Amino acid sequence: MSFVEETGNSLLALFPQSTNVDKKSAGEPEAVEKGARRHGIMITDHAERGTAVDVFCAPEQVVAAAKIMDEIGFFLEAVTGVDWIKEDRLEVIYDYNHYGFEPCRVVIRTFISRTEPEIPTISHILPAADWHERETHDFYGIRFAGHPNLVPLLLSEDADFHPLLKDFTP
């Protein structure tokens, strides 16, 4: 079993027994691209997608996922968002990587409400998340519940806007 498959199997603990690892070499099914898939793990072709494992999970599972990623030696590269204004939701994306012999970049994604954009912080597990979550809060207005210092990082302290939301007008 490869390191990528071991990583996928470690993450399977987050999901019900019925969830299978989907192996796709030529990209995601159309339903995943449109965000219809709510949870699951897909082993992808790193050369084509830039990731080896793509995970969709529920917002309440990101802390457990961060614990697993930390336990198996991954580091956090970035936390960011995507505004799906027509679907009235935000996507929160966590990029992880591992210094190993085979490429094993993992992306963990979840969707949250655009009107109540809140998700648990992972900064107590991975301290590197501190600034990434603050930046994501600045740009998308996503509140990271339990974050110890969720103050503006790049915007002024009196900013009452989030410039990467699609309905933002300067």
CATH of the domain at 11: 3.30.460.80
DSSP H/E element including 69 = helix 62-71
Q: Tell whether 19 is covered by a domain.
A: yes
pLDDT in tens, 9-20: 788 777 654 344
Percent of the chain with pLDDT over 90: 56
Per this entry, what is the length of the chain?
Answer: 170
Q: Residue 116 gets which letter from DSSP?
A: S
Structural domain total, the chain: 1
Three-state DSSP class for residue 112: strand
Q: Which two tokens stand for residue 120?
A: 């648990």
DSSP H/E element including 56 = strand 53-56
Q: Tell whether 102 is covered by a domain.
A: yes
Quote the domain boundaries for residue 8.
3-129
Using the predicted structure, report yes or no on whether residue 60 has a pLDDT greater than 90. Answer: yes
Contact status, residue 134 vs residue 153, Cβ threshold 8 Å: yes
Q: How confident is the model at residue 149 (pLDDT cuts 50, 70, 90)?
A: very high
> What was the pLDDT predicted at 167?
94
Q: How confident is the model at residue 118 (pLDDT cuts 50, 70, 90)?
A: very high
Average pLDDT over residues 36-59: 80
Q: What is the pTM of this model?
A: 0.84
